[in-house]
Chains A and B, each alone.
Chain A
Amino acid sequence: MALFARTPRAPLEYSRTLWMRLWVGTVMLFLYAPLFVLMIFSFNDSKRNVVWRGFTTKYYEKAFGNDQLVEALVNSLTIAALATVASLVLGAVAAVMLWRFRFPFKGVIDGAISLPIIVPEICLGVAFLMFFSAIDWPTDLIWPLNLGAITIAHITFCFPFVTMVVRSRLATFNREQEEAAKDLGANEWQVFRDVLIPHIKPALVAGALLSFTLSLDDFVITYFTSGPDTITFPVKVYSMVRFSVTPEVNAASTILIILTVILTAAALKFQGVKAIAETH
């Protein structure tokens, strides 16, 4: 410690106190140790996943060679992409409507819109199962139409999150900007396109990220709405784990982790710094 502490610690420089470093270290350990263990053991040359027996990448080959697993991953990514786009449109429109207009039962709708966040996932899952069987939702459609039920279910629990982040962003909107645009000749649509959308863009990116990751890793609701031909990645991993935890599961999970990290990093790099500067 003394090696780095060349200047005396300033009153608010808590990052240079020992207890703070220990605290941060502990938090990091609890957060990331399980993930690193999982990733390291994906290279373990052993069928049982407990003792380290040497480095290998054969379980990655095996995972990529597992047609069912690849199909599940493709399904998951497709559902996530579709659910994200739909949630963005639905959620953003709902947020703008609630912010901009007055209409009957606004309070009720305002409260009801966040219900899918509050209601326990298991209840939602059962509800969807009963709903889809009650309306005789066709189960023998060709890909990707057979993913419809799961996608609809995912949209239901994703779009309230989009509405939430977009609304909090809208709360910081300066109405004079809207008036300024109108004053310069813009009509309602041009105001929306040129002023409002750029303002809520950071919230749209955040909402898209949230939706995508929520959809990608959802298990409970998907489990109730998926059929034999529409296995998603988390559901597939679960069924693999039921037999045995092989490094193949680790490898598949590692791929998923890396995929989400790359996506998040890309979104942040694309939008992050600039968006923060724009909010001022």
Chain B
Amino acid sequence: MTDTARPIIQIQNVSKRFGKVTAVDDVSLDILAGEFFVLLGPSGCGKTTLLRMIAGFELPSEGKILIDGQDMVGIPPNKRPVNMVFQSYAVFPHMSVADNVAYGLKIAGVKGGEAKDRVAEALELVKLGGFETRMPDQMSGGQRQRVALARSLVMRPKVLLLDEPLSALDAKLRAQMQFELSELQEKVGITFVTVTHDQDEALSMACRIAVINKGDVAQLATPSDLYEYPANRFVADFVGSVNIFEGKLTLDDPDKAAVDCPGLGKVYLNHGVTGPHGADVWIALRPEKIYLHVPGEGKAVKAAAQDAPDGYNFARGKIKGMSYLGDITLFEIELESGARIRVSRPNLSRHDQEDFTWDDKVSMHWRADSPVVLLG
């Protein structure tokens, strides 16, 4: 495990400009050996450019990239110890599956029995054993992707780069491939660096995620830290669904804090936030962390919510929108202030979805450790 702390890719103050457009703006980050690293961001945020610079298809305007301690300046893509799985898979249409997988070995001069064994091993790894003689046009999109994976893995790269690997697959297959990719990564022990705009994909596969916004790293953290402790409004909003309310920090002690939000009312926390007193801050509250009640349950709610030293987190509203999603129901509730808040509620029994309907008056509470105070 000592090996996992070793950075395999070091990106140091890298910027990339296309004419006047800055795609990547002074990014520095380390990717550790053996981890599943995800670059997550909206389209056009520079994450693909970053990946292509690691592969060598784009050159940094400034800064440098080190792979396994070696500066990559002046090293073309065909000489780098990384391999890439392309978004379109880029499987060679005129070659059979086996020839596709063997292509890199052929270029590298690996011949005969060894090449054959390695191709068979790689195909076995992606569960395509027996497909050797198939042509790519006789395969489904998912199978073609496995060919692309095997074609890269057979080279035994230090790092495998994947550009939006699951975007072209349908939902069911995507979920399955998420698991398979994680499993594969553990099995081969190669560092995976994946680019995606899909937060579910990132959360389910990654060891660590770098959220990229406008060419810069907005936050680098583990999936659960990213979700539970977002560093700013962009991350909170981009990863998962969230309610954000603007407010003023009125109390900030080591063990308690309070934020006065015009939209939501007073929000109590059971921990300090170490922000400047009276500062403008934002409260981020995830929909699933809000409990929904019929107004009559007031006393029980009060008791449940009394976990902050100075008060309890409570709000009233009226249901303005509902969407039943099977496992959960999403509610859009108009608060007394006129602001709206989203609440999700698990359907624990078959009749749970009948508890509430449009225009019902409801009350809500949440625990004092649920809201996240954001300073930016």
Report A's interface with B, CB cutoff 8 A: 174, 176-177, 179-187, 190, 194-195, 198-199, 201, 277-278, 280
Contact = CB atoms under 8 A, between A and B. Distances in A.
Given A181-B103, A201-B94, 20 more contacts: A176-B90, A179-B55, A182-B76, A182-B77, A183-B55, A183-B78, A183-B82, A183-B84, A184-B151, A184-B152, A185-B78, A185-B79, A185-B107, A186-B103, A187-B78, A195-B92, A198-B94, A277-B135, A277-B137, A280-B137
B369 to A, nearest CB: 47
A181 B107 CA distance: 9
Interface of B: 55, 57, 76-79, 82-84, 86-88, 90-94, 103-104, 107-108, 135, 137, 148, 151-152, 155
Contacts of A176: 86-88, 90
Contacts of A187: 78
A183 B137 contact: no
A195 B76 CA distance: 18
A199 B94 contact: yes
Contacts of B78: 182-187
B94 A180 contact: no
B72 to A, nearest CB: 14
A179 B155 contact: no
A116 to B, nearest CB: 32
B77 A278 contact: no
Given A184-B151, A198-B94, A179 B77 contact: yes
28 contacts: A174-B88, A176-B86, A176-B90, A177-B92, A179-B57, A179-B86, A179-B90, A180-B151, A181-B92, A181-B103, A182-B76, A182-B78, A183-B77, A183-B78, A184-B78, A184-B104, A184-B152, A184-B155, A185-B104, A185-B155, A186-B107, A194-B92, A195-B92, A198-B92, A277-B135, A277-B137, A278-B93, A278-B94
Contacts of A280: 93, 137
A183 B154 CA distance: 13
Contacts of A198: 92, 94
A198 B94 CA distance: 7
Contact of A278 (B55, B86, B88, B137): B137
Nearest to B109: A185
B137 A185 contact: no
A279 to B, nearest CB: 8
Nearest to B161: A183
Contacts of A177: 90, 92
A278 to B, nearest CB: 5
Contacts of B77: 179, 182-183
A34 B277 CA distance: 98
A280 B109 CA distance: 31
A180 B108 CA distance: 15
Lowest 9 A-B CB distances belong to which pairs? A184-B104, A180-B90, A176-B90, A198-B94, A185-B107, A176-B86, A177-B90, A182-B77, A185-B78
Most buried by A among B76, B93, B152: B93
Contacts of B55: 179, 183
Nearest to A280: B137
Contact of A183 (B83, B87, B91, B93): B83
A117 B213 CA distance: 52
